[in-house]
Structure 1
Amino acid sequence: MDDTTGTLDEALERLHLSGPERDGWLSNHAPMAVEALVRHGQAPTVHRWLDHYGAKLEDMPDTFTPVTAVNWREALGDPRRIADWTAYFGRETAERPWRDVLAEWWPRLLPGIAAGATHPAIRVGHSVRTLLEGEATAPRVRELAHGLGYWAARHQPLPGLAHLAPAPSAAAALEAVPAVAEQSGGILVRLGQLTAFPRWPERPPAGPDAARAALEELVRASTHRYATHGHGEPIMLVHAATAPNAVLRTLPALPRELWAPSLAGAWAASAAVTAAYTPAGPARFTPAATTAEELFERAAAHGNDHTIKFTDTALDIGDETALAAALRSIELNPPAL
């Protein structure tokens, strides 16, 4: 996608005046949502959508202490350093090719993919998709810096996890993920209860292409699962699909030796969200009975940022169950417009 309207760059410049969070920890979803809107032909709606969303935005926090090549380890995972990390990656991406910065930092950040309920990783995935498919304009490169900075500041490794029995498929693995014992409280409380995940894939992937194929399978399975299980927590469970899809979108920009570790990180993120919010049982769903284009128009009119992003992921899959899952997100999540 290359936005010939200029809307995406305008929106990003507008958004870069704001921080990545509000109310202390809730994520700013606007950069991700506007990228999806523009990609799917909804550029004329973007500024109106932003006018509505703008009430949720907060200024970038004050700087604390500059992040450097010497002190970055002590700053990793320190949310007080959001502005410092954003400035650091702004300098890095201004001085070096963005792919080089991403390749250096991806393995450092990947173990903390649960950061910010996976939103920083998802923001990076939207940014990388834009850079790969269009011109690397200054606002788009800055958007990558904002995403990486947010991820570094909120970096949050999962607790040490044991392996359960191997699962033969991504769908079976998600089905076998044990729910956390206490299904209440915020995501940090829930993630702190994780103890074990099924082993998936059953065997390590035989090379980068096999890792990519397995990641595609995971995105498909987690998207399909939302159709039957999204009612467990309609907003949070979209991340079980959008987080691994963000990793999948990033793979082409990464060295191939990072593809297998990326699969492992994506599986950990999807399984963690599934464990934290899985319902007691599945529900029936209705086929979408519409085209992909019409479905995204409905999501855009609905206006909910999570619905827009999940529908964007569902359209990447594009099959009947994925479209039904997107329709389910429109039905379950509260409209924002």
Structure 2
Amino acid sequence: MPNNANTNGVLEEALERLHASGPEIYEWRLTNHAPMVVEALATHGRSASVHRWLDAYEERLDDFPDRVSPVTDANWRVALGDTRRGADWIGYFLRAFEERPWRDVLAEWWPRLLPGMYGGSTHPVIRVGHAVRVITESGENAPRLTELAHGLGYWAARHRQIPGVVPLSGAPDADGALEAVPAIRDSQGGFTERLAQVDRLPVWSAYVTDPDEARRRLTELVTAATHRYATHGHGNATMLVHAATAPNAVLRTLPALPRALWVPSLHAAWTATAAVTSMYAPPEPSPYTPATGTTAEEVFERALAHGDEHVIKFADTAVDVGDERALTAALRAVELSEPLSY
């Protein structure tokens, strides 16, 4: 279904509008999802809807943040994870792309950023995945490279790790491993408070060493997490979307990375998906009712009509998976989520 001939300039116009805004909506401490959504709309042949959707969403956005002090090759370790330094980090990556090919910069920074995938509720890696997809599938240009710099800069500023996780017995497949994830003991509080309670996760991908096997397993993980939403999304309609969209962002980035980075990418993606599952798992699953006969085209159109940013991005991932259960999961997100009025 995706239409990769999105070079008509609409995406570029939208990205240029958005790059005057910050990566977060500070009043509510929420992520700016617009760059990810407009990329998904353009990639799925909905360029005509990009500016109309953005007009409705734009009132939420904040100005680009103030700079503090330049990030350099000498001081980046001190700046990593400093949430005040978002503009500084974006500036660092913009300069890096002027000096070196973007794939070289990405290959250098990907292993540095992977351990902090949890920062910003996994949104930074998702933003990077959208930017890499459009560049690798439709070509690079200035607005797309700027978008990748914004995504990487946001990730570096929001870099956050979870140390000391006890490994539990796993399962042979991703479905079983997700089923084995224990829920956190206290389900109150936001993402940061819940993440601090994640201290036990099943082992699933730890023994993979072959890059091709890592890619296969990552695909399996995206499928399993997308499917699971159909019966478990009510645990938190918004946050459980990320159990699927975060590993899919990693999967989309693999073709742009050296093969040596595929295995650690799988390990990080599994831990992030398992952590989100642990944090928001409902006490019981809901019944599964398949959306028989519904096409991917219809599902994405339903998501666009609904308008919620998480619904659109989840439908984007569900269409990647492409089977009936994935499309059913996307429609479940439509049912569970508050629509955007536009």
Q: TM-score range by the shorter chain?
A: over 0.9
Aligned counterpart, 2:340: 336
Gaps of 5+ in 2: none
* Cα distance in structure 2, aligned partners of 1:287 and 1:50: 32
Matched, 1:310 2:314: yes
Q: Say whether the 8 Å CA contact 1:159–1:194 is kept in structure 2.
A: no
Aligned counterpart in structure 1 of residue 212 of structure 2, from 209, 212, 216: 209
Q: Say whether the 8 Å CA contact 2:165–2:198 is kept in structure 1.
A: yes
Residues matched between the structures, number: 336
- After the TM superposition, which residues 70-89 of structure 1 pair with which residues of structure 2 at under 5 Å, given as runs? 70-89=74-93
State the 1:44 CA deviation. Answer: 0.5
Aligned counterpart, 1:18: 21
* Cα distance in structure 1, aligned partners of 2:99 and 2:62: 28
Deviations 1:253-304 (A, max 9, x none): 0000000000000001101110110000100133223111011011011100
Partner amino acid, structure 1, of 2:49: T
Aligned counterpart, 2:67: 63
Partner amino acid, structure 1, of 2:142: A
Which stretch shows the higher mean deviation, 222-231 or 154-163?
A: 154-163
Aligned counterpart, 1:175: 179
Aligned counterpart, 1:283: 286
State the 1:194 CA deviation. Answer: 0.8
Deviations 1:111-132 (A, max 9, x none): 0000100000000000000110
Aligned counterpart, 2:8: 5
Which stretch shows the higher mean deviation, 126-135 or 1-10?
A: 1-10
- After the TM superposition, which residues 188-203 of structure 1 pair with which residues of structure 2 at under 5 Å, given as runs? 188-201=192-205
* Cα distance in structure 2, aligned partners of 1:48 and 1:158: 39
Name the SS for the 1:249 alignment partner: helix
State the 1:95 CA deviation. Answer: 1.3
Name the SS for the 1:168 alignment partner: coil
Aligned counterpart in structure 2 of residue 91 of structure 1, from 91, 95, 106: 95
Matched, 1:268 2:268: no
Q: CA RMSD in A?
A: 0.9
Deviations 1:36-56 (A, max 9, x none): 111111110110101000111
State the 1:4 CA deviation. Answer: 3.0
Which stretch shows the higher mean deviation, 90-99 or 19-28?
A: 19-28
Aligned counterpart in structure 1 of residue 44 of structure 2, from 15, 40, 45: 40
Aligned counterpart in structure 2 of residue 52 of structure 1, from 27, 31, 56: 56
Q: Say whether the 8 Å CA contact 1:171–1:221 is kept in structure 2.
A: yes
Aligned counterpart, 2:298: 294
* Cα distance in structure 2, aligned partners of 1:31 and 1:58: 14
Aligned counterpart, 1:110: 114
Which stretch shows the higher mean deviation, 177-186 or 2-11?
A: 2-11
Partner amino acid, structure 2, of 1:170: A
* Cα distance in structure 2, aligned partners of 1:281 and 1:171: 16
Name the SS for the 2:169 alignment partner: strand
* Cα distance in structure 1, aligned partners of 2:70 and 2:19: 19
Q: Say whether the 8 Å CA contact 1:190–1:276 is kept in structure 2.
A: yes
* Cα distance in structure 2, aligned partners of 1:218 and 1:254: 19
* Cα distance in structure 2, aligned partners of 1:268 and 1:115: 13
Which stretch shows the higher mean deviation, 21-30 or 220-229?
A: 21-30
Percent identity of paired positions between Structure 1 and Structure 2: 63
Which stretch shows the higher mean deviation, 109-118 or 288-297?
A: 288-297
Q: Say whether the 8 Å CA contact 1:159–1:192 is kept in structure 2.
A: no
* Cα distance in structure 2, aligned partners of 1:29 and 1:35: 10
* Cα distance in structure 1, aligned partners of 2:96 and 2:26: 29
* Cα distance in structure 2, aligned partners of 1:309 and 1:126: 10
State the 1:199 CA deviation. Answer: 0.6
Name the SS for the 2:14 alignment partner: helix
State the 1:206 CA deviation. Answer: 4.3
Aligned counterpart, 1:163: 167
Name the SS for the 1:83 alignment partner: helix
Gaps of 5+ in 1: none
Aligned counterpart, 1:31: 35
* Cα distance in structure 1, aligned partners of 2:130 and 2:61: 19
* Cα distance in structure 2, aligned partners of 1:329 and 1:37: 17
Name the SS for the 1:166 alignment partner: coil
